[in-house]
């Protein structure tokens, strides 16, 4: 089918989805609508700004739909007469009634190598779990979360210093290349897909706001994994002297327990070392509430006599 005559709806919300959405537009796909999460207040001033995909849609004159609950409000989709729906990081469960509308079905770009890490936060949990490899799966959308047939995958190697920010930058061009290459094959019936192996399924549940408060009782590797998963946005934090201190980089030092968890066991030229559940971690980049981001030595210089104090 000619891509310019194909009627496509894109469903997605954040920056990574916006990158893929605009790339498809530039490649010649004809979008009859964007479905995104509602705009939310951002920043200290709580200004309402368009979500990233909406900004792209407005730029190209594409109609935007932002239902509060898509499962209760999707009648408009039938009026758009889509041939296919492409989804990436939309943020809501899509009801079966909507999935049944497009004649070529609904495809999702999911941020893991399925069947591992089904759910809302697969990229983050790859970092939390200390995975060495993750990737993207082009999959069929069905009425069970991330459980449809898999049409293709692309793999990504995770570096030792990988964070959510750097991983998104790796995923963006890979996801775009994937959909531009594989969507025509799918539409031509050349990607039959394979069922997921249910015995291999793991889950990556939504990360809620309270998880931003880093847990010092976790094992050292898991603690550092959470730091990576929350960097750079929103940033995981600890509390020190009744102020939030965001931690943007941390590394495992050892698996020794020499003090209660949350105790700063060392703060000198050798670094800022914190006791956690099964060992000690070096805090490398920090940002105290109301201050700028600094390296550990600058933080130490601004806070004398840190050794023995608590950060939890």
What pLDDT shows up at residue 1? 65
* Other residues' Cβ atoms within 10 Å of the Cβ of residue 132: 10
Instruction: Say which residue the tokens 């130490």 belong to.
Output: 300
Domains in the chain and their CATH numbers? 7-200 (3.40.50.170), 212-302 (3.10.25.10)
Mean pLDDT of 279-288: 98
**C-beta atoms surrounding 106 within 10 Å:** 22
Calculate mean pLDDT across residues 150-167: 98
**Following DSSP, what letter does each residue of the chain receive, concatenated?**
--TTTSEEEEEE-SHHHHHHHHHHHHTT-EEEEEE-PPPEEETTTTEEE--HHHHHHHHHT--EE--S-TTT--HHHHHH--SEEEEES--SPPPHHHHTSSTT-EEEEESSSTTTTBSS-HHHHHHHTT-SEEEEEEEE--SSTT-S-EEEEEEEEPPTT--HHHHHHHHHHHHHHHHHHHHHHHHTT----B---GGG--B-PPPPGGGGB--TTS-HHHHHHHHHHHTTTT-EEEEETTEEEEEEEEEEEES---S-TTBEEEEETTEEEEE-SSSEEEEEEEEETTS-EEEHHHHHHHSSS-TT-B--
Residue 271 pLDDT > 90: yes
Give the whole-angstrom CA distance, residue 135 versus residue 42.
Answer: 29
What global pTM score does this model have? 0.95
Q: How many CA atoms lie within 13 A of 107 on its CB side?
A: 29
Rounded Cα distance, 104 and 123, in Å? 28
Q: Mean pLDDT across the stretch 244-252? A: 98
Distance CA 211, CA 229 (A): 11
Predicted pLDDT at 45 = 80
**Residue that wins the pLDDT comparison between 8 and 2:** 8
Q: What percent of the chain lies above the pLDDT cut of 90?
A: 94
pLDDT digit string, tens, across residues 199-216:
999 999 999 999 999 999
Tell me: pLDDT of 245 over 90: yes
pLDDT at 239 over 90: yes
């Amino acid at each position: 089918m000619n891509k310019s005559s194909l009627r496509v709806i894109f469903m997605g919300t954040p920056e990574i989805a916006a990158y893929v959405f605009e790339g498809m537009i530039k490649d010649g796909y004809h979008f009859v609508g964007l479905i995104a999460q509602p705009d939310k207040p951002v920043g200290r001033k709580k200004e309402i700004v368009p979500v990233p995909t909406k900004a792209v849609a407005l730029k190209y004159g594409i109609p935007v739909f932002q239902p509060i609950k898509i499962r209760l409000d999707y009648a408009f989709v039938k009026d758009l007469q889509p041939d296919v729906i492409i989804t990436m990081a939309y943020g809501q469960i899509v009801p079966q009634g909507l999935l049944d509308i497009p004649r070529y079905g609904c495809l999702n770009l999911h941020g893991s190598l399925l069947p591992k890490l089904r759910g809302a936060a697969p990229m983050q949990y790859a970092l939390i779990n200390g995975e060495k490899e993750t990737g993207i799966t082009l999959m069929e959308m069905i009425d069970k979360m991330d459980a449809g047939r898999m049409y293709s995958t692309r793999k990504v190697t995770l570096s030792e210093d990988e964070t959510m920010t750097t991983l998104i930058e790796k995923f963006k061009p890979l996801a775009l290349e994937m959909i531009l290459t594989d969507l025509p094959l799918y539409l031509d019936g050349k990607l039959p897909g394979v069922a997921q192996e249910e015995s291999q399924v793991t889950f990556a549940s939504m990360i809620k706001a309270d998880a931003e408060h880093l847990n010092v009782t976790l094992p050292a590797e898991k603690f550092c994994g959470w730091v990576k998963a929350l960097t750079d946005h929103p940033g995981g934090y600890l509390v020190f002297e009744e102020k939030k201190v965001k931690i943007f980089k941390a590394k495992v030092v050892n698996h020794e327990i020499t003090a209660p968890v949350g105790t700063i066991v060392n703060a000198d030229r050798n670094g800022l070392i914190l006791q956690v559940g099964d060992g000690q971690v070096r805090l490398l980049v920090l940002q105290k509430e109301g201050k700028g981001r600094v390296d550990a030595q600058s933080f130490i210089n601004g806070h004398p006599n840190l050794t023995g104090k608590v950060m939890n």
